Amino acid sequence: MPLLSRTAARRTLLAVLGAGVLSTQWPSAEAADPTGLDDPGKKDIAMRLVSSAENSSLDWQAQYKYIEDIGDGRGYTGGIIGFCSGTSDMLALVELYTDRVSGNPLAGYLPALRAADGTDSHDGLDGFPAAWRKAAKTSAFRKAQRDERDRVYFGPAVGRAKKDGLGTLGQFVYYDAMVMHGPGTDALSFGGIRARARRHAATPTDGGGEKTYLNAFLDARVWAMRQEAAHSDVSRVETAQRVFLKAGNLDLDTPLKWKVYGDGYEID
């Protein structure tokens, strides 16, 4: 199957991260200012919302051991944020884990992961899912997953949202889009979705209304999702994020009720 646009986008950001120039591409979240999704409670809500869409469960911490090939052209998908063997971020995760813990259960698969990057190949990955689940029993691998999630997705998304003048809901909307579509500037990546939205509405920083802009962003994201067969179900936007926006819940306050793929969820 052809690999979707997330691959090139992730490679671009990972290269930027490796060069140590993240701040010139995506502003990072300000840890010293625990507002919005920087607040631990709000961040946990964001993780549960993403998990409802990615894993059909609110228990995001149960997903460290998750791994399977879901047939979307990205090879193996695993962990708390859906790291993929075909889109560079799973490779980067295993490299980080191996830097920290040599001789871990996944270290021997690094050559195969490098060869598989950019494809959906399983060549050389016999036994990899079992090794992943074994690694997920260790605190070191779980921490590596959290660190890569924050470095590649959460920090950049929240930082960009703050620069655009968005509150907690807007920060989550950006984060969920970054997780699914990856960073980058092509039409189907986060940067392209944001650019499309800004052609229709100004960000709050640029003088626009927050609800108006977020509706434009969600419209742009729905358009992008419908360009890819694997993302054609847009319920994570229309029966979740759009529901919160229509209710005016810009702070993502509980209680929250939403549906994804027809399944109902609630956070009291």
Q: Which residues are catalytic?
A: 54, 72
DSSP-derived secondary structure letter, 87:
S
Residue 234's SS3 state is: coil
Environment class of 50 (CB within 10 Å of its CB; exposed 0-12, middle 13-18, buried 19+)? buried
10: amino acid identity, one letter: R
Nearest CA-CA partner of 89 in 140, 157, 24, 151? 151
- What whole-number distance in Å separates Cα of residue 21 and Cα of residue 263? 41
CA-angle at 79, arms to 127 and 256, nearest 5°: 150
| CA gyration radius, the chain | 18
Based on DSSP, count helices (H) and strands (E) in the chain, helices before strands.
12, 5
Which two three-digit tokens encode residue 11? 């490679």
Q: Count Cα neighbours of 103 within 13 Å in the Cβ-side half-sphere.
A: 0
